[in-house]
Each structure stands twice: as structure tokens, then as C-alpha cells.
Amino acid sequence: MRDSILTARLGIPAVALVTEAFWSQGDFVANSTGMPDIPRVKLPHPIAGSGEDNMSKVAKGVAPKIIQFLANENGIN
């Protein structure tokens, strides 16, 4: 979350990838840093160590949303 906020503050489009278990922490960080609308995409939890096949499947599912945010469609900046 913080990496994406710092990146966005530099004027570079950024999207935070946040797993379900950390979604509320993501909201907290976004609000506490004054960027409540920082784009974020929800991933299943856990994702780390879940295997290449699973991660590829998840990546395919969320890639369009990430691209949409990076293209600044429904994103911020």
C-alpha cells in the first residue's frame, strides 16, 4: 500500500495489490495517509507461496482491472 501511495505521489500511476486478509489494513493506510481513493485490487489470501499455476490464474483474473487503473480509467491522479 505504502509503495503504491509513494509512487502515486510521484505522479506515476500505481495500483496496490492487497489480499483479502489485509483489505481493511489497506483502507486504514489509505485513509491515514490522506489518499483514500488510491487504486487497489483485491487478491485472494494467501497468495504468496500458493504455486505458479494458482498465481497465474489469479494474475489473469486481475490483470484487466490493474490495466484499467494504470490507464487512469476510474483511477485517480
Under the rule (CB under 8 A), what is the footprint of other proteins?
2, 22, 24-25, 28-29, 32-33
Nearest distance from C-beta of residue 58 to other proteins, angstroms: 20
Q: Which is nearer to other proteins, 5 or 66 (CB)?
A: 5
Closer residue to other proteins (CB): 25 or 56? 25
Distances (CA, A) of 28 to 5, 7, 60: 13, 18, 27
Nearest Cα neighbor of 18 from 9, 10, 27 is 27
Rank residues 45 and 57 by Cβ distance to other proteins and give the closer one. 45
